[in-house]
Structure 1
Amino acid sequence: MEFVGAQSNYDLWFKLRRALYHDLSEEFDHEEMLQIEKSDWQESFLIINNGVFIGLVELSLRNMVDGCLSSPVAYIEGIYIIEGQRGKGLGKGVIEWIKEWARSKGCTELASDVELTNIGSQRFHESLGFQETYRVVEYKMDL
């Protein structure tokens, strides 16, 4: 399995983001992708297995994460494996690669989040050794 910067294939990156973040507007996706491209603390990678693009992982370094004591904390902002490639154990390999990425950034903890209704993703995280820390509803306000 290999990982390449998502910026190298903008159209595929956008397509995979639409599958992962289908509740967001296309405009939001494009704006966030531009932010990721310019960011020093966010990265996005396309996942390739046997020469075929099979998914996407978006990572960040966060100063604080609920349930974590270190800083920075490596954070999985999004992870997506295309239909037909799930259930083959590829996710474990992706997480192992993410752990190495996190260590290379000086992190000692890896965190993630899952929507309350996404039971499949919750099971995925738990099967790989993630421990649940909190259940919350997040809010924001434009200023």
Structure 2
Amino acid sequence: MAVIIRTEAFDPWQVLPLYEQANLHHAGKIGATSVFVGTMRDFNDGDSVTAMHLEYYPGMTEKQLQKIIDQAAQQWQIVDAFIVHRVGDILPSQPIVLVAVWTSHRGDAFDASRFIMEALKSQAPFWKKERLLTDAERWVLKNTDGYQRQGQQHV
């Protein structure tokens, strides 16, 4: 089980098979794989968004993501799990996050990957600043319950 934070763009469909080849040696144990890829969209709360900047707390963020995987493994029969998360400057259509979960059964794969993604969005220490089409910037703040509040700051 692994967590990777990246500052550079990545192709999830290239990263995923590399991880599988290097780490999945569980012949016959894997019956299902659930993969979620989150990409940046060009809108939020009715505004056009041209870019965003994601910041994180090195060391703490990776530990929190690993803790989330560990929590999922306590609830579902996970063979392996993998998170790749992008930080830094991100443009619309670029991948931000990859969550992959390998299990023996599809229900566990679906449920565990959903849990990991929802927990990541509400618990992991990431900070997001959006650049709007109007050249304004705003930090997007999130509560621990996953709901977001926004403040706008003009440049």
Structure with larger Rg: 2
Query: Whose helix proportion is higher, 1 or 2?
Result: 1
Greater relative contact order (Cα 8 A, min sep 6): structure 1 or 2? 2
Fold shared by both chains (TM-score > 0.5): no
TM-score (norm 1): 0.34
TM-score (norm 2): 0.32
Query: Whose strand proportion is higher, 1 or 2?
Result: 2
